[in-house]
Amino acid sequence: MKRSTTLAAAIFAGVAVLSGCASNQQPQQIGYISNDSSTYGTIDSIQIMQARGGSGVGAVTGGLIGGLLGNQVGGGSGRAVATVAGAVGGAVVGNNVENNRNAGKEEYQISVRMDNGDTRIIQQDSAYDLRVGNRVRLIDGRLYRY
């Protein structure tokens, strides 16, 4: 135990000495905020789309629950058949529940002509105050008026 403490102290002292050799030269443009043309643009079009189907979580969850319930029925080969039937039936029901839950949701597909000449298609769950011709900024995959 004493040896590991001594070794740790020696390593710490070595790191402290070596860090003193590091350069103190600072980068030239600290605090410089770039007006990056790849994050600013103008809205060309906004389309309302229906949200796509589910992610598959409903089918997987339904399959697991159905398989567990099917496994409680019968014995021997009958139990195996019931487990498979329960898993398949549960997956179908779970998938339908997930799709029905997502039905009717709208998604906005917004085409933006970026200042650098690129065109980007951004999908958002709302277009609250966005209109065609607005100047926008793209931050973390969402558009905001600029």
The per-residue pLDDT for range 10-48, each reduced to its tens digit, is 555 554 444 454 444 433 333 334 456 578 999 999 998
- On the question of pLDDT at 8 being above 80, the answer is no
Q: Once rounded to an integer, what is the mean pLDDT over residues 65-69?
A: 82
pLDDT for the residue 143: 92
Distance, CA of 38 to CA of 113 (rounded, Å): 10
- On the question of pLDDT at 103 being above 80, the answer is no
- On the question of pLDDT at 113 being above 90, the answer is yes
- On the question of pLDDT at 110 being above 90, the answer is yes
Instruction: Print burial letters for 19-36: b (CB count within 10 Å at least 16), e (below 16).
Output: eeeeeeeeeeeeeeeeee
Mean pLDDT of the chain: 75
Distance, CA of 121 to CA of 139 (rounded, Å): 14
The secondary element (H helix, E strand) that includes residue 38 is none
pLDDT for the residue 43: 93
Q: Which two tokens stand for residue 10?
A: 């020696």
> Residue written as tokens 């496994």?
71
- At a CB cut-off of 8 Å and minimum separation 6, what does 94 contact? 58, 59, 60, 61, 62, 63, 65, 66
The secondary element (H helix, E strand) that includes residue 29 is none
pLDDT for the residue 30: 37
Q: Once rounded to an integer, what is the mean pLDDT over residues 126-137?
A: 91
